[in-house]
Structure 1
């Protein structure tokens, strides 16, 4: 169940069904009840909404235990497991969205400072290696790329809307070395900060 794959669960339930159909109903029912008890212990360790937990522990579970036909009992049992998997998937997506929100909030607040993945991982209480893989998986970019994009977007706003010197803009956007800032800006925008400012000034006339 920890893999969260319905296809695997379906195959295993079909195997179990063939086995249980050969047993007396009482014995087969006891096996299912034992499996239910073990799964409920597992469910306690996952985060699901109160409404879903109520369905897991009562609304769906009660009909399983009331069945007197092993085939129907197994069908309800399989549906119950699949519902738990859906809850796990929902929780996982919520946690992933929340973590990405924290990542972007951290960058938006701290992009002016000398920040890195280690500082971010401490802030969100995650292992740096895990966080690096997670960000790449969710966005297709690494932390440095996302940070650079944020800094350059802010630099573009300052170039367009202020008369600050380029060296000041570099410092305000997390680049104490103006030459490095110019190089990074050019790699992202395909022109220098000075040229970008000139073009934006032309459009604003």
Structure 2
């Protein structure tokens, strides 16, 4: 009887060990999927913010409205409250936030030098075709944003032509003194 008991005990221990291993594997799998779901939810949230921001940008019909929409995008999507947007050759920004007057002058001079990124986290030309219609200079991020990542780079790639086209369209509208078309 002791031989049977010993064999049954060994089998029970082996089964218990396999169950612990399977439980640990299932826990790791669940944790992996929970992280993946959280990342996907964050990505969906970021994409929704981007869609809303681009719609707001596209709906802006004056240069001031474009600048305001662009400022909201930088704050809410990029994650910065330290930025300025300058037209080429301008010494005063279209819009700025959290940047001191002396720094604005330095940034304006810096943007006049192609490729100079010293002290800027982001230097983004806002383009229409090959023409730069303005430049975004970001000098800092919100405290909760650790840094820029691949998703930010993709956002900036999308933002450059969208903001450039919105600004150029608003300028053309203002120059031609055409009233915005009312929605039907």
Taking structure 2 as the reference length, the TM-score comes to: 0.36
Where is the helix percentage greater, Structure 1 or Structure 2? 1
- Using CA pairs under 8 Å that are at least 6 residues apart, name the structure with larger relative contact order, 1 or 2: 2
